[in-house]
Structure 1
Amino acid sequence: MKLNDNTLELMEEITQIIGVSGNEKYISRVLQKHYKKYTDEIIFDNLGSVFAVKRCGKENAKKVIICGHMDEVGFVVNGITDTGLIRVLPLGSIQNQTVLAQRVRLINHEGKEFKGSIIVPNPQADEDKLIKASEILVDIGGTSKEEIAELGIKFGDSIVIDGQFEVLTKGKRILSKAWNNRYGCIMGIELLEALKDIELDVDLYIGSTVQNKVGLRGAQTSTNLIKPDLGIVMECLQANDIKSGDDTVGKLGEGILINYYDKSMMPNRTLLQHLIHICKTNHIKHQYFYSMGDSDAGWIHKLLVGCPTLTTCICARNINTNSSIIDVDDYIAAKEAIINVVKSLNTESINKFKAENR
């Protein structure tokens, strides 16, 4: 199967925006533009997380939060040398071995963007040394501290490693920066489109959280804002399919991840079985997976009095780099599965999920 041009254009638009933790406003503004096509009700927490609300119109309807985080791994300006080079502070799980000599994009407080490169001090002398992300320098063409200051660049300005959007051979796989987790942002918009004319039995809060990479912070504030009865988290996780073996978890092209273990959340088993049943009944590609990382689900499921929470993830190669690769079949499978899960939800089913461990 292939993605239509509208989806591909949306993917390129959303992945290419700069949005590191704590400075997600540029991606938020684009998300709001799309949300307004489908609802007049958009809500925010006070950190910047944003949600489109689709109400079912029924009294005392259950509330379902569906979200992915909008921030990506990157850096902030942490100093400027006398020769005009920029020191950085990494945000998120930067892969140290992938950053040297990469091209970067810097955006200052005024929204002006600058191109540059990560500098390798002496690649021949240091070829066996693994440089830490916190030790790198960025060159945007300035020759002095004063020149950098004249450009309006200040401490805390955002930097990401450049990673263009490319549809690879045969259209089956897509290369870009920030699949973790612009996948969730894109999917949220497409869910609003797919469900716009469908009558539901629940109120939906579909959106994107902030500051995931520095402590899952937006998940906490968003949950306190919405007070959901059920959560669905969309995340992009690490593919592990470059090694052979039947025990490999996370294979490109094998469908939505049935995540039966997450370091930050033990899944609600009844809700997870519901997802599996939907995938099998509708012949949706799916694969079993466990994650040693954490996700927004880690907070959503346990805040307030707790709520059943499901992760609906896909995997990518080169996760948390500027050259992440996803498979189109996985995206399509996840979209179909999430839509079917949402359509199946009602007061009775949500109460059953809540009672799973009683």
Structure 2
Amino acid sequence: MEVLATLSRAPATSQARAGEEAYTDARPDAQAAAGPPPPPLRPAAFYSCVFAQIEEIGWERVVSATGDDGVSCLSFRVVDDKGRIHLLEITLPMGYPASPPSITAQVPYLPKIQWSKSSRLKDVICQFQEHLKMLQEFWSTMDEIDKVLRVVDATKPTYAMSHRLLALGDDCYILLHVDAHKPSSLPECRFLGAEGKLDRLIMNWRKNRKRWDTKKKFHENLAGVLDFALPAPPSVGSVRDDEQADCGICYARHLPVDDELGPHSGCATDYTCENPSCSRAFHSVCLRDWLRSITTTRQSSALTRPLFFASCRQVLRCPVRELPLLQRSRCRQGRRPLNLVSVYKKALDR
């Protein structure tokens, strides 16, 4: 009987150990499934302290308040002496206010915040405003470059950017890096373009760089060092002229290169609206195809019936003799299909 009792206890012990091992093995999986532990909660005194300091600055200057607890990351609107609007992001650490906050802003370089146990958020704002005063000359120089020279950067420059890409003509460019600490000094530069076209500019830069005068305007210095007339930015009128040169139907200046177009393949716009206030350009091929696609257009042996164009109500007359009807499914400019009917039905509906 004792032997039987001993044998009956052995499986129970092994099952208990197996269950304990299974429970131990499952605990890491459960912790992994639960994810990282939640961030520690801040004391109530932290919130009352932060809200009181925001009151000192003004709630109207708060742009956003985010973070795990809703106020650990604050964004404030700061206006400099020239009226430029800046966003200052202040991140409050767990030990705030004993620990100093960190800041982020769209500036060339950030100031080093002076912080003590008695410091408050308004002190950070004041130090940042003083930093903005030091950068006024730099931003004025960058504004001068954008206004006077032909900048070809694809994206709109931010207040943190200290470089500009300038077009010099003939597919030549110069990449300038302006020193934010000394914006009137000689900038760093890099010439971009085809080999052989930049030799004279590079030689002039190396020869005349010592002539850079910090008392002169930036663009005058650059033109003098390069000994080259720098291109001006395109005027509003020239930009409008470029837009007017595009076809009012296919929105392209040149027709695609396609055997189906015959002698018109790759041609530029060749018809202009006679209304002086419009002067919209067209490809005669596009115009004829569009007129043929409208059921209200009547065609004679040589001319179509006069038709009012949607944008300026000008009567259009277009010869259609000896012109094959285009297959719009194949007439493309880049990836844009030449869907004349849908484009002009929308225009007429307006």
TM-score, length of structure 1 as denominator length:
0.17
Name the TM-score, length of structure 2 as normaliser: 0.18
Q: Which protein has the larger Cα radius of gyration, Structure 1 or Structure 2?
A: 2
Specify which structure has the higher proportion of strand: 1
Bigger proportion of residues as helix:
2
**Whose RCO is larger (CA < 8 A, sep 6+)?**
1
